[in-house]
Structure 1
Amino acid sequence: MTIPAVTPVTPVTRSAAPLLDIQGVNHSYGSVAALKDISLSIADNEFFALLGPSGCGKTTLLRSIAGFETPTHGAILLDGVDLTTLPAHKRPVNMMFQSYALFPHMSVEKNVAYGLESEGVPRAESRRRVGEILEIVGLTDMAQRRPAKLSGGQRQRVALARAIVKRPRLLLLDEPLSALDRKVRAEMQLELKRMQHEVGMTFVVVTHDQEEAMSMADRIAVLNQGRVEQLDTPLGLYSRPATRFVASFIGSANLFDGRATTDGIDVPGLGTFAVPSELPSGSSATLVVRPEDVVLVGPSEATMSGIVVDTFFLGGSSTVSIEVPGQEHPINCTVHAANVASYGDRVGLKFDLPRCVVVANPGG
């Protein structure tokens, strides 16, 4: 088979100074602290995600950047200018809301042009910019349709076009794909990333969907209870989680609680595993093992053995759940085959230790 030549991708040029710099931001609703000392920087032309469960503070942070909330402490700088006291309508920031909020009586073209007309942009300039944006989002042929005649994915593109056409320095997106069904959502994840590259703009998206964040973002800040648990690339979050929460929230993981030792971690019922960490010896720790890092082996090679209690065929791979004596929960293993093990089989297994991680267990 002939492999086609790959056209080199020109990397995005980013300045050394961050576009957005959030410094020690706190925000409270009465006695409830929604944000606790949030500090992070976002680069120019970056696709950045704020990820976390409901109530973690991600939407409050987004609204603080937009100017709809005023932090009780800290600063939010855009291009080095403090926005904290600047009202929302004076910030070079645009926000695309979860509901899209399209005008039902206006055509696609007029919906997109509305913001430009409100700012007094000359008609010829407005038409040119609207035409350019509609081409980018793939809606040129639907310019005269009204929102009721569009699919959910198309309405999402209209809302995005309306937000982009004003050329903000920063575009904020609050759960932009939550109203779409699974198939359309997957397609729009790729489209959003493509559009972000084409328009050369910084996107900050809020989502509780880890798959959505992992597929689109250059970097992700994982929030929990008002704090940033970890800020990293998608690969970094998955392969090297910094906390037990991140390990459990990002992807699937087998978590084994034990005690840190000078040699690694001691897990009751399983033994000691030579996985390096910087935790003090004797402190509570958790061994994080991704399902694909659990290997089914013959009995003579096995570190441990157990009984298969379930299998899930997922197309290109299967997840096998194995009940191991002394463990409260079955150990999940991902294998790239359909029928490698059946219910009731006794199997041997071991961990790919160089790929495993030890994190602190604050609840231990």
Structure 2
Amino acid sequence: MTTGPAPVPGPQPLLALRGLSHSYGSVQALHGIDLDIADNEFFALLGPSGCGKSTLLRSIAGFETPAEGEILLDGGPLTRLPAHRRPVNMMFQSYALFPHLSVEKNVAYGLEAEGTGKAEVRRRVGEVLETIGLTKFAKRRPSQLSGGQRQRVALARAIVKHPRLLLLDEPLSALDRKVRAEMQLELKRLQHEAGMTFVVVTHDQEEAMSMADRVAVLNGGRLEQVDTPVGLYSAPASRFVADFIGSANLLDGTAVAGGILLESGLVLAADHGLSAGSAATAVIRPEDVVLTAPGAGILDGTVLDTYFLGGTSTVAVRVSGVPAPFICTLRSVHVPQRGSEVGLIVDAARTVAVADDRGAGPLEAAAQETVSS
């Protein structure tokens, strides 16, 4: 499990979290979080419900005060500063637009509340509405807009004040799938154009992987791994990350020299630094599997079902000794029929071995015998 701060470009991160811990009564929400986020970075906090990501975001915003640890912005302490005095803006899941105000009045609200001059307010509101493509909707009220347009207004209101850091709490969850996909690209574009740091909380792995420069995966209030989307997918640091990020075939066994010993006695080749005899899991992505004739691969199985998904087909195969169906992704419309016997060839160079953090594996004794022999 990766709990230390991940390296970021430059000598000093924009945002640094050091030893952040927080509890709600007897429930520990955060466990000593260390994290660095760079200037102009699009960063995602990703994890299942209850993992601590929203508590972490609210602590950065100033709505929660962590029991332990420090929050630093540009090297300066932020932890005890009240929310309204932090150079941080937060865009809420509900958008929280004023229904009786027009689009331009909603965007201008924060500037006017700070006493910004009328000419400056008009200039900055005009600029940001042009950036998000809503200039012609300036006089409309939120009820006259689509869900995607309301999301843009909320974003405009957040960035018009030029915060050093923008926090987004599940910003796309209220949108339907098609609009959500469009807004993922839009958020990334706006982040680049605004030239500021975005930190987004989401439980949607596709959302995090498509938008973020780096992603922190949380589980039970702890950091499992911090990496780029490609790094998380191709080199997961734990069984949890491998299972949570993308689709993966997880084959549990025991670490031996050169691979993972399965219950069947087969050793799946994989490079690893795990202790011999320790519980381990081989992570095989669906696209790293090729179907062949029975007996010609390292595993044999029976086709359970096939799914055509445009340019690719997904094939589910029942493999003896493997609890879940083995999933293969083929770039072909010609796939074996249900009930067919097939062999599976696995790309050993792309197979990742991680510790099975659910507990010691049942094959430890067998593995020790393999090692000693």
* TM-score bracket for this pair, using the shorter chain length: over 0.9
- For residues 9 and 214 of structure 2, the distance between their equivalents in structure 1, rounded to whole angstroms, comes to 14
* 1:310 alignment partner, SS class: strand
- Aligned sequence identity (%): 68
- For residues 84 and 299 of structure 1, the distance between their equivalents in structure 2, rounded to whole angstroms, comes to 61
Deviation per residue, 1:67-99 (Å, 9 max, x gap): 000000000000011111100000000000000
Aligned residues: 352
**TM-score relative to the length of structure 1:** 0.95
Partner of 2:204: 209
Partner of 1:172: 167
Query: 1:326: Cα distance to partner?
Result: 2.4
CA contact (8 A) 1:265 1:272 kept: yes
1:81 aligns with 2:81: no
CA contact (8 A) 1:77 1:83 kept: yes
CA contact (8 A) 1:35 1:227 kept: yes
* 2:349 alignment partner, SS class: helix
CA contact (8 A) 1:270 1:304 kept: no
Deviation per residue, 1:112-157 (Å, 9 max, x gap): 0000000000000010000110011110111111000000000000
Partner of 2:126: 131
Query: 1:304: Cα distance to partner?
Result: 1.9
Write the letter of the residue equivalent to 2:191: Q
Pairing partner for 1:145 from 135, 140, 145:
140
Query: 1:14: Cα distance to partner?
Result: 5.9
Partner of 1:333: 328
Write the letter of the residue equivalent to 2:103: V
CA contact (8 A) 2:306 2:335 kept: no
RMSD: 1.1
Deviation per residue, 1:237-293 (Å, 9 max, x gap): 000000000000000100000000122211112601221111100000000001111
1:34 aligns with 2:18: no
Partner of 2:369: none
- For residues 59 and 217 of structure 1, the distance between their equivalents in structure 2, rounded to whole angstroms, comes to 17
- For residues 362 and 44 of structure 1, the distance between their equivalents in structure 2, rounded to whole angstroms, comes to 34
* 1:256 alignment partner, SS class: strand
**TM-score relative to the length of structure 2:** 0.93
Deviation per residue, 1:159-196 (Å, 9 max, x gap): 00000000000000000000000000000000000000
- For residues 45 and 321 of structure 2, the distance between their equivalents in structure 1, rounded to whole angstroms, comes to 38
Partner of 1:260: 255
The answer for unaligned runs of 5 or more in structure 2 is: 1-7, 361-373
- Pairing of 1:249-328 with structure 2 (within 5 A): 249-269=244-264, 271-299=266-294, 301-328=296-323
The answer for unaligned runs of 5 or more in structure 1 is: 1-12
* 2:339 alignment partner, SS class: coil
Could you list the structure 1 runs, at least 4 aligned residues long, displaced by more than 4 angstroms after superposition: none
Query: 1:301: Cα distance to partner?
Result: 3.0
Partner of 2:152: 157
User: Which one is further off, 297-306 or 335-344?
Assistant: 297-306
CA contact (8 A) 1:51 1:213 kept: yes
- For residues 270 and 43 of structure 1, the distance between their equivalents in structure 2, rounded to whole angstroms, comes to 47
CA contact (8 A) 1:14 1:45 kept: no
1:72 aligns with 2:72: no
CA contact (8 A) 1:269 1:327 kept: no
Pairing partner for 2:111 from 92, 98, 116:
116
Query: 1:341: Cα distance to partner?
Result: 1.2
Pairing partner for 1:90 from 75, 80, 85:
85
- For residues 88 and 326 of structure 1, the distance between their equivalents in structure 2, rounded to whole angstroms, comes to 54
Partner of 2:3: none
1:236 aligns with 2:231: yes
Pairing partner for 1:53 from 41, 48, 54:
48
CA contact (8 A) 2:87 2:164 kept: yes
CA contact (8 A) 2:294 2:341 kept: no
Write the letter of the residue equivalent to 1:142: F
